[in-house]
């Protein structure tokens, strides 16, 4: 579970996240939806300790990330919106690096590398440098590195971008299974059709403020004669 209380982030005069208080429960896939520049990525980066809040509290499974940063970060895995990181490492070196940080058992690590490599069709290129990968392949290696230590909380920033249909389908299956095991899956997107098919709940953010949290079905009932796109435009003005 993720609990945000009075969370605020300012960059100079710009308020990117504006005093939001929201809980993302365990056991569900939650879509974090909003237009470009709404505050989605800034919120996710504060949750995982990359960006320091200007104000407010973040609890990850009850652990305050400001007071116990290492214990809190062990609760989560984060897939960036841009997979262009550690380009001089091979895919396998990067996965091993992440596995070492999180103290993953060697036998379990090797099993997961084989399993995930096959699932995402990356086995034959794991020894190649990440800089030689396509955008979609880089995205897959970042996802594999998160899955290798199986954290309770998954923070995924536009995780389906660049993935081929088979890998996209496989990731959705893995997300569903992880949530069904009682864990938290929070992913940002601006593709409403994906959220409609995949999410148990959604949270809509615009101009740094939460405009709606709940199910899509409940939201649709408030706008019975409008399309999903029209509803989104209405909520975000």
Q: How far apart are CA 188 and CA 41, in angstroms?
A: 8
* Structure confidence at residue 90 (pLDDT): 97
Output the six-digit token pair for 111. Answer: 């099993």
User: In this structure, is residue 52 part of a structural domain?
Assistant: yes
Q: Provide mean pLDDT across the span 100-119.
A: 93
User: In this structure, is residue 59 part of a structural domain?
Assistant: yes
User: In this structure, is residue 14 part of a structural domain?
Assistant: yes
User: In this structure, is residue 33 part of a structural domain?
Assistant: yes
User: In this structure, is residue 145 part of a structural domain?
Assistant: no
Output the six-digit token pair for 70. Answer: 């290492």
User: In this structure, is residue 222 part of a structural domain?
Assistant: yes
How long, in residues, is the chain?
237
Q: Provide mean pLDDT across the span 226-233.
A: 82
User: In this structure, is residue 87 part of a structural domain?
Assistant: no
Which is more confidently placed, 192 or 152?
Answer: 152
Output the six-digit token pair for 173. Answer: 């299956």
Q: Contacts for 189-197 with beta carbons within 8 Å, 24 or more apart?
A: 189/31, 189/32, 189/33, 189/158, 189/160, 190/33, 190/34, 190/35, 190/36, 190/158, 191/160, 192/33, 192/228, 192/229, 192/232, 193/228, 194/31, 194/160, 195/31, 195/33, 196/228
Which is more confidently placed, 92 or 220?
Answer: 92
Least trusted range by pLDDT, from 116-120, 153-157, 187-191:
187-191
> Which tens digit of pLDDT belongs to each residue from 1-51?
999 999 999 999 999 999 999 999 999 999 999 888 889 999 999 999 999
**Structural domain boundaries enclosing 34:** 1-75+185-237
Please, what is the average pLDDT of the chain? 91
User: In this structure, is residue 41 part of a structural domain?
Assistant: yes
> Which tens digit of pLDDT belongs to each residue from 45-87?
999 999 999 999 999 999 999 999 999 999 999 988 777 888 9
Instruction: Find the CATH number of the domain harbouring 224.
Output: 3.40.50.300
Domains in the chain: how many in total? 1
* Structure confidence at residue 61 (pLDDT): 95
* Structure confidence at residue 194 (pLDDT): 80
């Amino acid at each position: 579970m993720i609990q945000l209380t009075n969370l605020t982030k300012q960059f100079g005069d710009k308020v990117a996240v504006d005093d939001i208080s929201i809980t993302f429960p365990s056991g569900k896939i939650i879509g974090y939806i909003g237009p470009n520049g709404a505050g989605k990525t800034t919120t996710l980066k504060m949750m995982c300790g990359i960006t320091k809040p200007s104000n407010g509290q973040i609890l990850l499974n009850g652990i305050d990330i400001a007071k116990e940063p290492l214990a809190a970060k062990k609760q989560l895995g984060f897939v960036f919106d841009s997979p262009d990181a550690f380009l001089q490492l091979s895919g396998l070196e990067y996965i091993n690096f992440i596995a070492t940080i999180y103290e993953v058992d060697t036998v379990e690590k090797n099993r997961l590398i084989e399993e995930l490599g096959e699932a995402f069709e990356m086995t034959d290129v794991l020894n190649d440098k990440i800089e030689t990968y396509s955008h979609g392949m880089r995205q897959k290696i970042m996802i594999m590195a998160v899955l290798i230590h199986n954290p309770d909380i998954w923070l995924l920033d536009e995780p389906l971008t660049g993935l081929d249909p088979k890998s996209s389908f496989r990731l959705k299956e893995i997300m569903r299974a992880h949530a069904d095991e009682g864990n938290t899956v929070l992913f940002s997107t601006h593709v409403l059709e994906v959220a409609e098919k995949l999410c148990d709940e959604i949270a809509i953010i615009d101009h740094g403020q939460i405009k709606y949290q709940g199910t899509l079905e409940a939201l649709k009932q408030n706008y019975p004669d409008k399309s999903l796109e029209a509803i989104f435009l209405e909520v975000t003005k």
